[in-house]
Amino acid sequence: MSVFIRHKLVEDQEGYILTLYLNPNLTEFSKEIGIAEDSGVVKDTGIVKDTGNVGILDKSIRSYISSHFPDIKVNAVKIMIGSILLTTLPFSGMVQDVSAATAPQTQAVQEAEQSIKIIIDGKQINFSQSPMVIDGKIYISIRGVTEALGGEIWWNGESKTVGINKGDIKIAFVVGDNKARVNGEQVSMEPSFITNGVTMVPLRFVAESLGMTVDWNQAEKTATLFSQPVTHQVKAGDTLFKLSQQYGISIDKLKSINNLSSDTIFVGQILKVKETVVPKPKEEASAETYTVKAGDSLWSIATKFGISVDALKKANQLTSDTIYAGQVLKLKADTTVQTPTDPQGNSVSYITYTIKSGDNMWELGNRYGIPMAELLQVNKMTVDSPLSIGQKILIPVYNIAVKERVSEKHGEYLDWWTEAQYVFPIGKVATVTDFQTGRRFQIKRTTGANHADSEPLTAKDAATIKEIWGGEYSWKERAVIVEVDGRKIAASMASMPHDVSYIKDNNFNGHFDLHFKNSTRHKDGLVSQAHQEQIKIAAGIIK
């Protein structure tokens, strides 16, 4: 990742003044050179220098000048972050050793200048910002690759959130983060970064999330992207050699995957131009047991099998989150345990739905208030399972019994995994009452699986939220009552906007966290005790 994202060179009487703009994503580097962040204010605390050695910032400046302006006399260097001037450095005494400094960031830029070819479905694509190879991974302009793949891109400047929409696929992530959301599900990704004002993203992550496959030819420095599946109908003038060049595949491979014994092909013939790879079957929650491996956690196992951490702990009578390699765990998804005989009075029934053109499991889950992972599991499907028009699937319908409340002021104490998420599903609008002040505002649950990621419905609602939290958005938890369809549920809310947002024009750049009984954090799948305490206050269990 580049230390400096851009520069400005101005000539003076004796030479040049160089202005360098620090990459704002390099927070660790900022700490090294003494730039501290406190309440959003950047403070200039000077430059760290090792005794008798050149400081980290000086080394980066030397490398930048050496690679960009080897024949220019630079008298002074100004260091900027955004519009803030951090420091001005005289440079006349530092030029003699410039050629000796080669920072890793400069090496990354030099690698980016190599000729890397990107071929998408047989067509070479050129980008305004050259692709980079860093630590063996290809990074590419997000706008360039998204538009080349037929998608649309959006950007939230305040939260630094980037989004990609293509058909039924929705991707969102924060620049610099190692997590992303694909159709609402959290996944890992190599962090993106900004260079020269362009957001660079890992090519493989974006391509595979959009249903492409990626082949990398190291010798030819060529990345080839294929749509799935890939076939070609032979036209007049086509030859195996021509097709091999067009699709980046050898003639021998073309003949092998099409069972050809000669080089003869004919007009109208359908040829495979990408070898079919049969994916390893995903582990499903229908398995009865799972043997813990090194590096496993309850969170990773629950995610793998599409069940909740709470269900996994209950099935194995675990009183903590500690597990060990070699331990055999029972797997029992907590999706249909509520039956008409449940002492809580909850029940679940099923309706049959016929797939129509344009349907997908993510939107069907939202429409019927059922998590996509549960909808897939009920129908013994995975995220890779195809849908066809006329296909019939089962959709659970939950009847969550009304629980007695301590008083009119308090809310029902509903478990997130078995109750609350069905009463307050994605897409639902609710009225929230702050338990302490009694002030009310409207929200909409827009995403979230571990808890309800929600957004203010309007700018007025956002303003009310800010006022309740003392004039500033905050991660501080507060007890709230969520009123939906005439029911009042005990919950806890933090007001800080972050990550992806879906509602426009509400003056709230991101979503906030809304927790219910036993709900968990996205980042680690653990219960937040601070939120749980506020929920108990809202339910009247504690004062």
pLDDT digits (tens, 9 = 90+) for 443-493: 999 988 889 999 999 999 999 999 999 999 999 999 999 999 999 999 999
Task: Give the residues across from 222 on adjacent strands.
Answer: 117, 217
What is each CA distance from 338 to 140, 288, 395, in whole angstroms?
48, 20, 15
Is residue 515 within 8 A of residue 493, CB to CB? The reply is yes
Per residue, what are the HEC states of 92-116?
A: HHHHHHHHHCCCHHHHHHHHHCCCC
The amino acid at 439:
R
Which phi and psi (to 5°) does residue 409 adopt?
A: -75, -30
Work out the percent of the chain whose per-residue pLDDT is above 70: 76
Residue 398 in 3-state DSSP?
strand
Task: Give the residues across from 394 on adjacent strands.
Answer: 352
DSSP 527: B
The per-residue pLDDT for 469 is 97
Among the ranges given (230-234, 347-351, 376-380, 492-496), the one the predictor scored with the smallest mean pLDDT: 230-234
179-210 b/e (C-beta count within 10 Å ≥ 16 → b): ebbbbbebeebbbbbbbbebbbbbbbbbbebb
What is each CA distance from 313 to 33, 252, 302, 310, 517, in whole angstroms?
46, 53, 10, 5, 16
Is residue 120 within 8 A of residue 149, CB to CB? The reply is yes
Separation CA 369–CA 365 (nearest Å): 6
Residue 167 in 3-state DSSP?
coil
For the record, the structure tokens of 468 come out as 């309740």
Which phi and psi (to 5°) does residue 211 adopt?
A: 85, 20
Separation CA 286–CA 333 (nearest Å): 8
Q: What is the pLDDT of residues 20-78, one digit of tens each?
A: 877 665 543 443 343 333 333 333 333 333 333 345 567 778 777 877 777 777 777 88
For the record, the structure tokens of 298 come out as 């309850």
DSSP 476-526: --EEEEEEETTEEEEEEE----BS-----SSS--SBEEEE-BT-B-TTT--
Separation CA 287–CA 470 (nearest Å): 50
Separation CA 468–CA 496 (nearest Å): 12
Separation CA 144–CA 153 (nearest Å): 10
Mean pLDDT of all residues in 347-365: 87
Separation CA 54–CA 46 (nearest Å): 14
Task: Give this prediction's pTM.
Answer: 0.43
State the chain's mean pLDDT as an integer: 77
